[in-house]
Amino acid sequence: MEGVISVCKKGSKGKKDDLYHVIHKVPFGDTPYVKAKHAQLVDKEPEAAIVWFWKAINVGDKVDSALKDMAVVMKQLDRSEEAIEAIKSFRGLCSKHSQESLDNVLLDLYKKCGKIEEQIELLKRKLRLIYQGEAFNGRTTRTARSHGKKFQVSIKQETARLLGNLGWAYMQKENYMMAEVVFKKAQMVDADANKACNLGLCLMRQSRYSEAYCILEEVLEGKVAGCDEIKSRKRAEELLEELNGNLPEAEILGSLGLDDEFVKGIDDMLNAWNTNRPRRLPIFEEISSFRDQLAC
């Protein structure tokens, strides 16, 4: 009987331990990485968590996760510069499949620090990896996570997202001509209301109000994916209000224009999405002669 009671007690304790780890989202064990996650998520002691993350990296305990998680905690403590240096210094210890997630953390850190040039270079590098067929480990989709939910992202969606971010980075540098080219390319790959609003703002900054008006109207008329989102509609309305305040009664538009060859390259790219090609993906295969313009 005592043996049965003992087993029941152990079983009950085991279930409580399992529940504890599920609730707090911490791994099992007593390693430096586990202690770091406990300090981060349970004790709410980020400084102590960083100490344990460093120890985990130094002893080779889940280095991929330790480096990424430590950088995130450092960002929360306004130690972004330190986090950037940590990733640059120790990413060589991490596996190949973790490099993409480390790049994503780096992008967030660059934004936090206002390092626009670094953002642009990193975004270009990620786009080159797609062109070379090395992104997503050669697959056409990958599993992403947002707010605790998993979903599938296609290489097409990722390309458009990266181009959208690149266009916004050019906006920060006030290089509106390059931003326009990139935003239009992103919309042709996978259009959405957010990028449409960004393109509209880009055209407004160039005093091309009629073109911007047409794009923003499409968002409000429901002609673009994601236009049913309240945030996107509100932004389009705000931009239109700003635009109407700047629009002259008799507007004479100056044509900035796009290079005809570049536009043709984009059209060829869009027609090639369903073409099966080895390694290099259609989006870049078809515009390979134009990609140097994107790298300006």
- The 10s digit of each residue's pLDDT in 202-250 is 999 999 999 999 999 999 998 888 888 889 899 999 999 998 887 664 3
Could you give the 3-state DSSP secondary structure of residue 214?
helix
Higher per-residue confidence, 52 vs 147: 52
Pairing of strands 141-146, 149-154: antiparallel
pLDDT of residue 162: 94
Domain boundaries along the sequence of the chain: 20-111
And the tokens for 81?
């510069």
Neighbours of 239 (CB within 10 A): 21
pLDDT at 192: 92
For the residues 88-98, what does the mean pLDDT come to? 92
List, for residues 106-137, the tens digit of each pLDDT value: 999 999 999 999 999 999 999 988 888 877 76
> What topology is assigned to 20-111 in CATH?
1.25.40
SS3 call for 268: helix
User: Residues 219, 231: contact at Cβ < 8 Å?
Assistant: no
- DSSP letter, residue 289: G
pTM, entire model: 0.72
Smallest CA-to-CA distance from 130 within 151, 103, 170, 93 is with 103
Per-residue confidence (pLDDT) for residue 30, from 0 to 100: 83
How high is the pLDDT of residue 64?
94
With a cut of 90, say whether residue 278 has pLDDT above it. Answer: no
**Token pair recorded at residue 230:** 């309240």
User: Which of 56-70, 75-89, 175-189, 259-273 shows the lowest mean pLDDT across its residues?
Assistant: 259-273
Burial label, 286 (beta-carbon count in 10 A; 0-12, 13-18, 19+): buried
